[in-house]
């Protein structure tokens, strides 16, 4: 563990460091020094289209150097020609392109001199090209015979390379070239043998000089080919190299250059050229050739390419060959160059100069640009080394070493400065530095001194040099403080001293807090096409807020600040939002924060989840009659492992194009042994499934056809259906196409009457049903169905029991009796018919009834039949919804699937009195401040003898709270109006009127109204309420309201259960009829809760009748009265729960108050 060993003002340990800095730092220009060439031109071409040509030579030194030039080794006076323009304190000159400038062509050298010595540049060649032209000449036509060899010479003019030569006709169409006709490297056109088609008068040679922007054309040449009297077949003869060169020749190539060896031959038939290396390192690959095999080309020549190459031209008549001895040479290259430097008085000097090349280069030493005279030079000099001892100030000089062979010259200069000066600190004083905690701090102290200076650093007021492992003094004088801490802040001093003098500077260091980043979420996993938001939270030093910058990178590449891909990827300072995520969005997202002093990064690995890629490369193996092995390569899982693979098949015989699931295998498996059905031409595909979803199906496999076989199974779901009594229709589920197992599928149907010893009846059918007639009515049969095809029968089938056709029952129930439960409900009993008289499967019994007389008025009624259905074999049922105080007749019959049997004899019964229906209306005829006159109508049905009316009223307001109920009994059943007195003025009341029989009171009609205020004249209202038009309007409103309520009631109950208890009004009826028949004993409406302020029953002493019957005792009826499940609606009105209040939808009369 590293420990801090110093605190402010206290320095522990001694650290002393001696540096030799002079050789590493460029000499300040303020110090006397030798000239140094800093910039020079190299080979220069004076193009005719340029306005001038600049030859550069710049140098630095103290004193300021002066410049001299030589041209071709002789002094060159820049003032000798007015077209030369020079600059002060510079060796560069400009030649203006005026007049004839050919005399400027040559090799120039620049010399920069001051009192200490002379620096010399490398040679600068200036090339002044002439404009290339073909000579004007008359070229005689060439007359040759078919088969002769011909050479058309181009002889292009000289010019600046590169040179491109083209042979074209006068229309600038290229002359076709091949093995027979080709162009040499020099540009001549060679014909190995001519044909009559070669005759033309416009063979033109074009020479292009791209650097001169010039193309020149030679005069057209004419070639005439005449037919020969004989075929001039001959063996090949080399035209290049010519026969005069002998059987071999030597070729020299520069290392790193391009080797081009050329062989062109004539002969008939046209010779074929081939190349081989016969001596030296044999290349692994055949050499590259060009120009239809006539040119061997090797780029970037190395020493390994040296050797002997042979070209051979051959045709059926013979062959000719030539050998090229290739020598690889190279221009001079440095092994060691003399190195300049700063030396102090009394030290020693050794300069080395060593170069290689082929031929071996010669070495020449120069001093200040002049050859060194060994007789006068006080040091030791050899070919590769110069040495001097006990250097003195006057030994300062520029030493040059030049290495030369026939391929070039290289120059190296070494400035030897002998100096004796006090240290110069080049870094400014009082520099301010800053870094962040944990980073390294670098405090600079660039020093130049000769002799070398001793350098040390101190902190704050201490004079002791800094130590510990965290401090390191670099060679250039810089102090490095590693792993900085807050306590490293402070003032530092750099001290430099040598034998001549000493110097010092100070530097201030501030330590800032490091920048920290966190990206959330760290490792998000997101579904493809979903969105992701990355947030980068940063902490940084407040002093660095102006330089703080934030950016995002993906996989190392910076993301642009503006939104990308049409707004799909949005960068907003510290957030990165990606909508509609794609698979290629997956990667490492890096938030990068930078300040002037540090940088920090935080990463988030975004993983994109998607359905797998479809499997690939489906292969079939292990082929068997009933199985095959399917193998595949799994597609990319997209970061969610494959859970399972679904294998599907398609067959093209029965349902082509329909893919069906065949098998499933675990996700890691990529092979499955598939069980197959016979006689199916299969094709398979695979779907991969992961947690995200299903992949697209793979491409289908090859088809695999299984051979046919006998059926493996028989039809299922065998049943008997019949529409006629003496008929039996046997039906079954046909085999699926893949279950047929072979061609010619049929069904073998066997049947016989159960319990009768007889042979089986059999029949083969192709469809999946068989009808048999003339069988006894409703007799059990044993039935078998077996699958059969051309290859055999299926397994032995199971026996199924079925019955022949039914007929309607031929007997009626007996012993029918009726038990009256209450005024609207009776219970019916009967004895069922014998089993053998049903003649089918007994479905149940029907009870029919109809009203014959009203007991109140004695009127006979036209019979309107109703019925209820009771499913199953039973002997009683409940008949609800009857009219009270009426006479009825009732019959019972049995029924089966075929229909209804005969009815029983009618039974007569009567229903007792019931409670009346609600009065037809309740109206307010007159309102006073403390009284009101009410009028009401008779009930629509009295359901018995009326005994009178009950009139009730209570105060109501706009809230749920209501007042106490007051009641008046009207015992005279003929009274239809009443005046109530003792009411409160300006008060809203609700009024109720009920009709009563000996059985009880019925539902109430209601009305609401306001009494008048004190002093209000009531006559106005009396006048209005007694007007005929007003009474008519009120009747119309009441009738319309009743109609709407009826429609709503019917719609609510249509097809639903009978509502045992209806919803309460806001201001409920203060009295509820609490008669509760025993048929509803096990049903309650738990959804209905009493409203706030609901009243207690006004007739709490009325008891409900008891019964043990439930809804299962009720049958299924007609005329919309009963639902299919036996529940009933509309005709039977159940009583309200005790304590609930019911009101009607009567209109409310509201009267305004007048002051």
Q: What is the pLDDT of residue 1050?
A: 63
Which of 888, 992, 983, 895 is closest to 936 using CA atoms? 992
The answer, yes or no, to whether residue 362 has pLDDT greater than 80, is yes
Q: Bigger pLDDT: 1079 or 886?
A: 886
d(CA 49, CA 399): 40
- Does the structure show a pLDDT above 60 at 402? yes
pLDDT at 1038 over 90: no
Question: How many residues can be counted in the chain?
Answer: 1155
Predicted pLDDT at 1063? 35
**Percentage with pLDDT > 90 across the chain:** 59
Residue 870 CB-half CA count within 13 A: 23
Q: Is the pLDDT of residue 262 over 90?
A: yes
Residue 317 near residue 203 (C-beta atoms within 8 A): no
Find out whether 502 and 422 touch, Cβ atoms under 8 Å: yes
Per-residue pLDDT tens digits for 665-675: 998 899 999 99
Task: At 863, give phi and psi (nearest 5°).
Answer: -65, 125
Q: In this predicted structure, what is the pLDDT of residue 288?
A: 87
pLDDT at 645: 94
Q: Of 542-556, 780-794, 824-838, 1063-1077, give the lowest mean pLDDT range.
A: 1063-1077
Residue 287 has pLDDT above 50, yes or no: yes
Tens-digit pLDDT profile for residues 318-344: 999 999 999 999 999 999 999 999 999
Helix or strand (DSSP H, E) at 1043: helix 1028-1053
- pLDDT digit string, tens, across residues 1098-1122: 333 333 333 334 444 555 544 333 3
**Confidence at residue 960, expressed as pLDDT on a 0 to 100 scale:** 64
Residue 2: per-residue pLDDT: 33
Q: Is the pLDDT of residue 647 over 90?
A: yes
| Encoded tokens for 186 | 């020099």
Is the pLDDT reported for residue 913 higher than 70? yes
The percent of residues above 70 in pLDDT, for the chain, comes to: 86
Residue 567 has pLDDT above 90, yes or no: no
Q: 218 vs 1083, which has greater pLDDT? A: 218
The mean-pLDDT minimum among 266-270, 448-452, 717-721, 1018-1022 falls in 1018-1022
> What local confidence, expressed as pLDDT, does residue 1083 receive?
30
- pLDDT for 1029: 65
Residue 1070 pLDDT > 60, yes or no? no
Give mean pLDDT, residues 1027-1043.
78
Q: What is the pLDDT of residue 627?
A: 94
Q: Is the model's pLDDT at 1094 over the cut of 80?
A: no
* Res. 605: pLDDT tops 90: yes
At residue 49, does pLDDT exceed 90? no
Angle at 916 between CA 915 and CA 918, to 5 degrees: 125
What's the whole-number average pLDDT of the chain? 84
Are 697 and 613 within 8 A, CB to CB? Answer: no
Q: Residue 1052: what pLDDT?
A: 57
pLDDT value of residue 565: 66
Question: Residue 85: what pLDDT?
Answer: 92
Band of residue 119 on the pLDDT scale cut at 50, 70, 90: very high
1138 CB contacts (<8 Å, ≥6 apart)?
1072, 1074, 1097, 1100
DSSP 120-142: EPPPEEEE-PPPP-PPP---PPE
pLDDT tens string 93-113: 999 998 888 889 999 999 999
Q: Is the dihedral of CA 1018, 1023, 1026, 1028 positive or negative?
A: negative
Cα 261 from Cα 274, distance rounded (Å): 12
pLDDT tens digits, 490-504: 999 999 999 899 999
CA–CA dist 904, 871 (Å, integer) = 18
Note the pLDDT of residue 236: 93
Residue burial 601-633, b: 16+ Cβ < 10 Å; e: rest: ebebebebbbbbbbbeebebeeeeeeebebbbe
Report the chain's terminal Cα–Cα distance, integer Å.
Answer: 102
Nearest C-alpha neighbor of 208 from the set 132, 101, 100: 132
Question: Average pLDDT, stretch 372-382?
Answer: 86
Please choose, from the candidates 874, 865, 773, the residue with its C-alpha nearest in 3D space to the C-alpha of residue 1112: 874
Q: The tokens of 793 are what?
A: 């029968």
Q: What is the DSSP string of 531-554?
A: -EEEEEEEE--GGGTTT-EEEEEE
Query: Which residue did the predictor score with more confidence, 521 or 559?
Result: 521
Give the CA distances from residue 472 to residues 302, 459, 475, 880, 1075, in Å, rounded to whole numbers and listed in that order.
Answer: 47, 14, 10, 111, 109
The count of other CB atoms within 10 Å of the CB of residue 964 is 8
pLDDT band at 1138 (very low <50, low <70, confident <90, very high): very low
How sure is the predictor about 186, in pLDDT bands with cuts at 50, 70 and 90?
A: very high
pLDDT at 406: 92
Give the range among 462-471, 550-559, 689-698 with minimum mean pLDDT.
462-471
pLDDT value at residue 1039 = 85
Output the CA–CA distances (angstroms, integers) from residue 72 to 103, 106, 108, 929, in the order listed.
12, 6, 6, 143
Residue 602 has pLDDT above 60, yes or no: yes
Is the pLDDT at 1072 greater than 50, yes or no?
A: no
Question: Would the pTM of this model clear 0.75, i.e. be above it?
Answer: no
Is residue 1078 over pLDDT 80?
no
Q: Is the peptide bond before 63 cis (omega within 30 degrees of 0)?
A: yes
Mean pLDDT of 1113-1140: 39
Assess whether the previous peptide bond of 162 is cis (omega < 30° from 0).
yes
pLDDT interval class at 474 (50, 70, 90)? confident
Check residue 213 and give its pLDDT: 87
Contacts of 1155 (CB under 8 A, 6+ apart): 1013, 1016
């Amino acid at each position: 563990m590293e420990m801090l060993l110093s605190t402010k003002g206290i320095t522990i340990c001694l650290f002393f460091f001696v540096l030799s800095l002079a050789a590493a730092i460029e000499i300040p220009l303020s110090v006397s020094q030798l000239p140094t060439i800093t910039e020079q031109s190299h080979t220069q071409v004076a193009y005719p289209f340029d306005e001038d040509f600049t030859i550069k030579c710049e140098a630095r030194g103290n004193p300021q150097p002066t410049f001299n030039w030589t041209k071709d080794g002789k002094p060159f006076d820049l003032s000798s020609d007015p077209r030369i323009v020079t600059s002060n304190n510079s060796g560069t000159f400009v030649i203006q392109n005026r007049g004839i400038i050919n005399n400027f062509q040559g090799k120039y050298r620049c010399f920069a001199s001051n009192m200490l010595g002379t620096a010399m540049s490398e040679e600068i060649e200036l090339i002044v090209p002439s404009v290339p032209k073909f000579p004007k000449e008359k070229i005689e036509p060439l007359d040759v015979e078919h088969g002769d060899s011909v050479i058309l010479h181009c002889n292009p003019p000289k010019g600046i390379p590169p040179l491109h030569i083209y042979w074209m006709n006068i229309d600038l169409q290229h002359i076709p070239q091949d093995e027979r006709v080709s162009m040499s490297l020099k540009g001549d056109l060679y014909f190995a043998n001519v044909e009559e088609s070669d005759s033309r008068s416009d063979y033109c040679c074009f020479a292009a000089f791209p650097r001169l922007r010039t193309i020149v054309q030679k005069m057209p040449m004419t070639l005439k080919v005449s037919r020969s009297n004989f075929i001039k077949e001959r063996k090949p003869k080399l035209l290049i190299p010519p026969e005069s060169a002998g059987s071999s020749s030597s070729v020299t190539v520069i290392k790193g250059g391009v080797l081009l060896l050329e062989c062109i031959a004539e002969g008939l038939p046209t010779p074929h050229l081939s190349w081989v290396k016969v001596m030296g390192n044999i290349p692994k690959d055949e050499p590259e050739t060009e120009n239809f095999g006539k040119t061997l080309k090797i780029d970037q020549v190395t020493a390994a390419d040296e050797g002997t190459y042979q070209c051979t031209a051959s045709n059926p008549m013979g062959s000719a060959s030539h050998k090229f001895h290739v020598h690889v040479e190279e221009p001079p290259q440095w092994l060691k160059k003399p190195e300049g430097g700063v030396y102090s008085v009394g030290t020693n000097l050794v300069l080395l100069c060593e170069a290689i090349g082929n031929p071996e280069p010669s070495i020449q030493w120069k001093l200040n640009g002049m050859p060194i005279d060994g007789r006068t030079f006080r040091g030791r000099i050899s070919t590769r080394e110069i040495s001097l001892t006990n250097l003195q100030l006057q030994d300062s000089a520029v030493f040059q070493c030049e290495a030369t062979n026939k391929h070039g010259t290289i120059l190296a200069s070494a400035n030897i400065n002998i100096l004796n000066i006090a240290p110069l600190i080049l870094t400014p004083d009082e520099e301010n530095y800053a870094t962040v905690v944990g980073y390294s701090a670098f405090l600079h102290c660039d020093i130049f001194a000769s002799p070398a200076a001793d350098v040390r650093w101190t902190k704050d007021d201490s004079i002791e040099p800094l130590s510990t492992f965290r401090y390191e003094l670099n060679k250039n004088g810089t102090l490095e403080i590693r792993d900085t801490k807050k306590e490293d802040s402070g003032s530092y001093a750099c001290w430099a001293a040598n034998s001549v003098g000493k110097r010092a500077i100070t530097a201030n260091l501030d330590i800032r807090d490091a920048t920290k980043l966190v990206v959330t979420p760290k490792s998000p996993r997101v579904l493809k096409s979903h969105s992701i938001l990355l947030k980068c939270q940063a902490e940084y030093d407040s002093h660095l807020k102006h330089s703080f910058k934030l950016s995002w990178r993906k996989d190392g590449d910076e993301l642009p600040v503006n939104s990308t891909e049409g707004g799909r990827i949005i960068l907003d300072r510290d957030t990165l939002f990606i909508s509609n995520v794609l698979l290629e969005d997956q990667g490492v997202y890096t938030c990068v924060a930078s300040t002037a002093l540090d940088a920090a990064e935080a990463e988030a690995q975004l993983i994109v989840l998607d359905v797998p890629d479809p499997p690939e490369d489906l292969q079939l193996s292990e082929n068997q009659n009933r199985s095959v092995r399917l193998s595949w390569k799994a597609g990319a899982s997209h970061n969610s492992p494959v859970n399972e693979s679904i294998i599907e098949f398609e067959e093209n015989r029965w349902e082509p194009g329909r893919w069906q699931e065949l098998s499933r295998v675990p996700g890691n498996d990529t092979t499955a042994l598939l069980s197959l059905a016979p006689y199916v031409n299969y094709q398979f595909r695979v779907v991969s499934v992961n947690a995200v979803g299903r992949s697209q199906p793979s491409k289908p496999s090859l088809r695999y056809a299984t051979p046919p076989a006998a059926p493996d199974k028989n039809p299922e779901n065998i049943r008997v259906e019949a529409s006629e009594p003496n008929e039996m229709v046997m039906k079954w589920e046909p085999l699926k196409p893949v279950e047929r197992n072979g061609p010619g599928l049929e069904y073998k149907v066997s049947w016989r009457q159960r319990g009768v010893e007889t042979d089986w009846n059999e029949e083969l059918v192709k469809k999946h049903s068989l009808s048999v007639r003339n069988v006894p009515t409703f007799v059990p049969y044993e039935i078998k169905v077996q699958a059969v095809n051309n290859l055999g029968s299926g397994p032995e089938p199971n026996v199924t029991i079925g019955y022949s056709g039914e007929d309607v029952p031929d007997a009626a129930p007996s012993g029918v009796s009726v038990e009256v439960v209450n005024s609207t409900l009776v219970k019916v009993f009967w004895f069922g018919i014998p089993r053998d008289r049903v003649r089918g499967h007994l479905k149940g019994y029907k009870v029919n009834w109809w009203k014959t007389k009203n007991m109140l008025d004695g009127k006979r009624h036209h019979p309107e039949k109703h019925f209820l259905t009771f499913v199953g074999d039973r002997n009683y049922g409940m008949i609800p919804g009857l009219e009270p105080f009426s006479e009825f007749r009732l019959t019972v019959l049995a029924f089966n699937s075929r229909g209804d049997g005969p009815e029983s004899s009618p039974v007569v019964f009567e229903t007792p009195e019931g409670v009346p229906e609600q009065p037809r209306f309740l109206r307010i005829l007159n309102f006073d401040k403390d009284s009101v006159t009410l009028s009401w109508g008779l009930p629509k049905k009295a359901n018995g003898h009326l005994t009178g009316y009950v009139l009730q009223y209570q105060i109501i307001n706009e809230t749920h709270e209501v007042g106490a109920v007051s009641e008046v009994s009207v015992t005279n059943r003929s009274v239809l109006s009443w005046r109530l007195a003792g009411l409160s003025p300006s008060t809203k009341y609700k009024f109720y009127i009920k009709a009563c029989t000996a059985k009880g009171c019925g539902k109430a009609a209601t009305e609401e109204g306001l009494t008048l205020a004190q002093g209000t004249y009531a006559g106005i209202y009396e006048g209005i309420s007694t007007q005929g038009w007003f009474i008519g309007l009120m009747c119309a409103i009441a009738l319309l309201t009743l109609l709407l309520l009826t429609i709503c009631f019917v719609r609510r109950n249509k097809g639903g259960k009978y509502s045992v208890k209806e919803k309460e009004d806001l201001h409920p009826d203060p009295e509820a009829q609490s008669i509760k028949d025993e048929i509803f004993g096990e049903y309650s409406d738990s959804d209905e809760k009493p409203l706030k302020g609901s009243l207690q029953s006004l007739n709490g002493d009325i008891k409900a009748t008891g019964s043990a019957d439930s809804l299962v005792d009720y049958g299924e009826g007609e005329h919309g009265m009963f639902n299919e499940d036996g529940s009933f609606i509309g005709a039977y009105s159940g009583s309200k729960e005790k304590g609930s209040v019911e009101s009607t939808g009567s209109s409310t009369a509201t009267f305004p108050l007048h002051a």
